[in-house]
Amino acid sequence: MKITLPGSKETLPVGKILCIGRNYAKHAAEMQSDVPGEPMVFLKPSTAIVRSGGVVVLPKQSKDVHHEVELVAVIGKGGRNIPEDEALHHVSAYAAGLDMTARDIQSKAKANRHPWSVAKGFDTFAPLGPLTPADQVGDPQQMEVSVTVNEETRQNGRTADMIFSVAYLVHYTSTIFTLEPGDLIYTGTPDGVGPVEDGDVAEARVSGCAPLRVRMSRELD
Ligand code: MN
């Protein structure tokens, strides 16, 4: 999967997809989870990307796939050990995203203390909206993040309620992984997550960014 960064004519492959769990207190509470003391990071494969207008495949291995609407920060300039006060200069675009989650598989993984890679990593489980240049979006901590399913609002949160800011997440993840252009950070979901069904249309919105629209389609046996 390739993307085009704002201000660039070249396409580049999507790199690492870094995702942050439990970055809003109300979502942590609805999952009966504690608020973490430092960011909880997991990864998705680049094959999970699907762009706006595409189809999310509900896999036959799961009977309970949930939407999680998230602000996505797109890394345009790489680095390692990026200071927090320089971090936003490394973000070249923002987008609306969905962290699709096979909740039944995730619950089993949690109970067995297994990783979340399967629950979070199926093909098409990382819908990504159009990239909007960062300088057109403004302060990433002053955005509204929402999703409708079949035009009914399911989640509606504010990035001001994030536990760890976008700048801190760029800094923090860069102390672990060298960040590269084309890496994506899915910054966590507000409360209100819930299931989607075959034929549902989800529209994810982040203020200042173009909307992301995807249709759900159940995989046939
Ligand atoms: Mn999430």
Tens of pLDDT along the chain (221 residues)? 899 998 888 899 999 999 999 999 999 889 988 888 999 999 999 999 999 999 999 999 999 999 999 999 999 999 999 999 999 999 999 999 999 999 999 999 999 999 999 999 999 999 999 999 999 999 999 999 999 999 999 999 999 999 999 999 999 999 999 999 999 999 999 999 999 999 999 999 999 999 999 999 999 87
What's the 166 CA to ligand 1 centre distance in angstroms? 14
H runs (alpha helix) in 79-218: 103-111, 117-121, 134-137, 166-174
Bridge partner residues of 74 (DSSP): 93, 184
Give the pLDDT score at 220: 86
Residue 82 C-alpha to ligand 1 middle, in angstroms? 23
Ligand 1 centroid – CA 136 distance (Å): 25
**How far, in Å, from the CA of 9 to the mean position of ligand 1?**
31
Ligand 1 mean position, distance from CA 168 (Å): 17
Q: What is the pLDDT of residue 183?
A: 98
- Report the candidate in 184, 181, 167 with the shortest Cα–Cα distance to residue 82: 167
What's 86's domain CATH number? 3.90.850.10
Distance 170 CA to ligand 1 centre (A): 16
- Centre of ligand 1 to C-alpha 189, Å, is 5
Q: For residues 68 and 163, give the distance between their C-alpha atoms in angstroms, rounded to a whole number.
A: 16
Taking the centre of ligand 1 as the mean of its atom positions, its distance from the CA of residue 78, in whole angstroms, is 23
pTM of the model: 0.97
- Tell how far the Cα of 70 is from the centroid of ligand 1, in angstroms: 7
Distance of CA 21 from the midpoint of ligand 1 (Å): 5
Phi-psi region of 106 (alpha: psi -120 to 50; beta: other; left: phi over 0): alpha
Residue corresponding to tokens 């870094």: 18
Contact by Cβ (8 Å): 133, 118: no
The total number of residues shown for the chain amounts to: 221
**What's residue 159's pLDDT?**
98
- Which residue range is the domain that position 117 belongs to? 2-218
Q: Given this model, what pLDDT does residue 13 score?
A: 95
CA of 77 to the centre of ligand 1 (A): 24
How many structural domains does the chain have? 1
CA nearest to 11, candidates 145, 110, 96, 131: 131
Distance of CA 180 from the midpoint of ligand 1 (Å): 21
